[in-house]
Amino acid sequence: MQSKSAIWVKCLAVLVLFCGGLVTTTAVTPPTVAHATTVYVTRTGKHYFYNRHDRGLNRAKKVYAVSLKTAKQRGLTLSATEKAPAKRRTVKRVTRKKVTRKRTAKKVTTKRAAVKPQGTYTAGSQTYHVKVVNHNNPGFSRATLSTKHGAWQTYGNLDGYNRATAANALLNRKLMPKGQRQALVVNPTAWHNKRIKTGWLYNRCHLIGYQLTGQNNNLKNLITGTRQLNDPGMTTYENRVAAYLKASPKHYVRYRVTPVFKGHELLARGVKMQMQSIGSNRIRYNVYLPNTQSGMKLNYATGLSKVAG
């Protein structure tokens, strides 16, 4: 028969075992990651991480889960990103007072052409003047500025004296020729050409330049013009239009050239050139170019000429 003290010792041992079982079976969540037993490493890295999605592992091709003991045995140290996690940046919201402004109608101003026409051209000792008409406003009707039907060109019929009248077009890159210009063989009215000190007096001047439409030996598109009227006069504007058209297949230019004759004269006094780019004012001109040549006196009735006295 056991003594009371022996029975008390046995009861105390059972109680200890019971309490120990409760402790070992109760799940305890570590208060910090420092108490975790599993860490994450890479094959060749020098650090270990508690957090699998730590930014220090973003570029790792493969991540391994190992025990903390194993990681330390390999000589790995805790990553700096774990030691000092980035502080979350707080952005203060600034509330602004709503200011009610009165709407005022903006004044719409029409932009002038990007390149202003030069009023005077000088080549050596020769000077050629261009007159700007109506502040460079070409004055085309809205209907003729439509691109709905694409590019087009028309040439007025010769008048009763076989003189060219007017040439109109809606220019686009599609109308521009791809080949070289052939020699001109037809003679417009007042064609009495001759050599002068600076070269040939006259040129067969296209109302709409060949480089824009490909029209060549077309009497409806030709007049007798001095070298100065042709170049630098008309060619200067034609080159600007050609460059604009070549820049984009979507570019269009409304274009009109009208020779100005006085009475029954066969030699034009000059030409009026009007042009407007569609949808912009990159090309916007209305100019009068006189059919004159420095140092020469022209007979506009016939086209004959002599050196100015």
Contacts of 122 (CB under 8 A, 6+ apart): 128
Mean pLDDT computed over 25-30: 38
Q: How far apart are CA 225 and CA 238, in angstroms?
A: 15
Q: Kindly give the pairing relationship between strand 253-260 and strand 167-171.
A: antiparallel
Q: How far is CA 137 from CA 90, 113, 160, 202, 294, in A?
A: 59, 10, 31, 30, 29
| pLDDT tops 60 at residue 10 | no
Q: How far apart are CA 189 and CA 228, in angstroms?
A: 18
pLDDT value for 286 = 97
Q: Which of the listed ranges 2-6, 126-130, 153-157 does the model predict with the highest average pLDDT? A: 153-157
296: tokens are 């020469």
Whole-structure pTM value: 0.62
| pLDDT tops 50 at residue 174 | yes
Would you list the DSSP string of 121-187? EEETTEEEE-EE-GGG-----GGGG--TT--EEEEPPP-TTS----EEEEE-GGGS--SPPPPP---
275-287 pLDDT, tens digit each: 999 999 999 999 9
Q: How far is CA 83 from CA 29, 33, 79, 94, in A?
A: 20, 11, 7, 33
Q: Kindly give the pairing relationship between strand 120-123 and strand 131-132.
A: unpaired
| pLDDT tops 60 at residue 40 | yes
pLDDT value for 114 = 42
Domains of the chain from N-terminus onward? 34-81 (no CATH), 120-307 (3.40.570.10)
Mean pLDDT computed over 129-140: 95
Q: Nearest CA to 203 among 213, 190, 220, 218?
A: 190
Q: Kindly give the pairing relationship between strand 222-226 and strand 202-206.
A: antiparallel
| pLDDT tops 50 at residue 85 | no
CB 112 within 8 Å of CB 284: yes
189-239 pLDDT, tens digit each: 999 999 999 999 999 999 999 999 999 999 999 999 999 999 999 999 999
SS3 assignment, position 253: strand
Report residue 21: phi and psi, to 5°: -65, -40
